[in-house]
Structure 1
Amino acid sequence: MEDKQHLDLAGSIPKTVKHYLHRIGQILLLLENEPEAERLLSVRLAPDMFETGFNLAIAIQFAARALCLPAKIDLPEIPDTYTVADLLGFSDEVSRLIEPISEADVAPIVSHRAGDAELVQTTAEYVSCFALPNMIFHMSISYAGLRHGGMKIGKADFDGFHIYG
């Protein structure tokens, strides 16, 4: 009998959220060894954009929002400061919080805010079209801020899959 592979959307989306939260943690561990880590966290790509550290905090928060909100679990607060230690602690807290969440834990509909917009979406649409893209957006802006500030990281650090010689 032929083994047919299929895309398991219910399992792949939470796995993707957890994967990229782990990647943020790995980038923070690299940042921990940078002599100018705090300066790197204060980099802005444009004067009216958030600092890199705050973008990292938002990306971590979106991992929590992606899975906790549909599971009706209270979201942890973003730290008041954005040091490497604060962000690592926040990442660890969110990782522990989302790890046990399964498909059976989530409601079919999510009500939430997107800026000033009040939205009601199916959980699948909320996670795949709102929460996960926002997490990746803020992670990408953070990555760009770190690179712009002089940190030597690459695509392999971002996604955990690429290998370059």
Structure 2
Amino acid sequence: MYAQITQFTKMLHTLSRLLDKAQKHAEANGFEPEVLLNARLSPDMLPLTSQVQMACDTAKLATSVLTGKQAPVFANTEETIPELKVLIEKTIEYVTSMKESDFSGWEDRIVAPSGWAGAFLGKDYFYQHGVPNFYFHMVTAYAILRHKGVRIGKMDYIGQLPFLR
């Protein structure tokens, strides 16, 4: 489990780097970064700011639910790229504060996330909701930036790979 949670950390670092590229793109093209932060893929979808917040919320909630530890509450009032980057860092700090032993028994632990109508086995919650929801918001944030002309590609999304050589 701990290895899967560290994937959240890797991807949150990726999200921060994507926001850096968004900032540079806005500056180079003479518009305010808020244009990108308010962008959506479709009128009925949430904007980039919300996608970043929800990726952070999902990583934080999955970590909390599977360890049984209380997650910090973040207000999700960010309106700028620097504020979103602080949110990402706070989320990474929380996720990386866990030790592998904190996840002991996570697969068979009965979990009932706050606000949900029922309970799950930890593995079902994580694999059926936590992972897909996290990546939904990650890829949507990436797609919004790409759609708006930010020069990013697949390797910007995947990030560094742990090559042996």
The offset of 1:103, in angstroms, is 3.6
Gaps of 5+ in 2: none
**Partner Cα separation in structure 2 for residue 119 and residue 60 of structure 1:** 23
Helix, strand or coil for the counterpart of 1:151? coil
**Partner Cα separation in structure 2 for residue 153 and residue 100 of structure 1:** 30
2:59 equivalent in structure 1: 63
Q: Work out the number of aligned pairs and report it.
A: 151
Q: Percent identity?
A: 25
CA contact (8 A) 2:40 2:48 kept: yes
1:76-100 deviations in whole A, cap 9, x for unaligned? 3242133101110000001111102
2:42 equivalent in structure 1: 46
- The structure 1 segments of at least 4 consecutive aligned residues displaced by more than 4 Å after TM superposition are none
**Partner Cα separation in structure 2 for residue 109 and residue 78 of structure 1:** 28
Q: What amino acid does structure 2 have at the position aligned with 1:25?
A: S
CA contact (8 A) 1:40 1:52 kept: yes
Q: 1:80 aligns with which of 77, 81, 93?
A: 77
Task: Note the 1:102-121 alignment, pairs <5 A.
Answer: 102-106=99-103, 108-112=109-113, 117-121=116-120
Whether 1:141 aligns to 2:137 is no
2:24 equivalent in structure 1: 33
The offset of 1:17, in angstroms, is 1.6
CA contact (8 A) 1:76 1:94 kept: no
The offset of 1:48, in angstroms, is 1.1
1:7 equivalent in structure 2: none
Gaps of 5+ in 1: 1-9
The offset of 1:65, in angstroms, is 1.2
Provide the aligned C-alpha RMSD in A: 2.0
Q: 2:95 aligns with which of 93, 98, 106?
A: 98
CA contact (8 A) 1:13 1:128 kept: no
The offset of 1:57, in angstroms, is 1.1
Q: What amino acid does structure 1 have at the position aligned with 2:16?
A: G
TM-score by length of 1: 0.81
Deviating more after overlay: 48-57 vs 124-133: 124-133
Q: Which has the higher strand share?
A: 1
The offset of 1:113, in angstroms, is 5.4
CA contact (8 A) 2:21 2:150 kept: no
**Partner Cα separation in structure 2 for residue 38 and residue 57 of structure 1:** 15
Q: Which has the higher helix share?
A: 2
**Partner Cα separation in structure 2 for residue 30 and residue 60 of structure 1:** 19
Helix, strand or coil for the counterpart of 2:36? helix
CA contact (8 A) 1:54 1:82 kept: no
